[in-house]
Amino acid sequence: MAEEKTFSLSDAARRLGVPQHRLIHLCEKGVVVPDVHDATGRGSSRVFSTDNVLELAVALRLREMMLPVTTAGAVVHVLRAFGERLSRDLPHSSLTESLRDKRAPDLRVIISDGQTIYFSVGMPDQKPKLFGGIPLDHLSGNGSGFRGQIDAVRSAASSALGGPEPSRFARLEISITAIARDLRIQ
């Protein structure tokens, strides 16, 4: 097995096209916790895994949509749990690398009515499967309190907004697969 690629703070910022201070802010708020090495004081450096770069990209996209840092943190931490579940089922797998494959399913995060997180996983020719239903208010401040299962849920017959989840008033849907494929990590 090849050694996993790592990214310094400056390298991750360059690849994501943002100033370093935006990534530092996400780390200091607990949205993303570096897998390889976290800063431990003045002069120390953060080192990120490929999955961390995806987490940073997702958090940045959510912040661009004007969502609060706490919501971005909740989504990233639940996404991390989803990735950990994948690596338990498929050892030596990386969520980011799996999603970059041409045959990868489309993984989407859906925030339903600003209150609940769902994951939708589907292949182009199949109805997507829905997972989650995790209330945002059950996640502590930055989302790190999530330790539950991410279970399949039955799709709504047809939500008021056309999605598989039961959104009535608002839904935000983000393709994690598209974000992973757009990453400049090679």
pLDDT, one tens digit per residue, over 41-78 is 777 789 999 999 999 999 999 999 999 999 999 899 88
Q: Which residues pair with 118 in a beta bridge?
A: 110, 132
CB-based contacts of 128, cutoff 8 Å, min separation 6: 106, 108, 120, 121, 122, 155, 164
Q: What is the pTM of this model?
A: 0.85
Share of the chain above pLDDT 70, in %: 85
Domain over 6-182 is classified CATH 1.10.10.10: no
Dihedral of the CA atoms 101, 102, 106, 109 (nearest 10)?
Answer: 40
pLDDT at 154 over 60: yes
Question: Strand 129-135 and strand 152-153: pairing?
Answer: antiparallel
Predicted confidence band at 23 (pLDDT cuts at 50, 70, 90)? Answer: very high
9-13, 79-83, 130-134: which is most confident: 9-13
Predicted confidence band at 143 (pLDDT cuts at 50, 70, 90)? Answer: very low
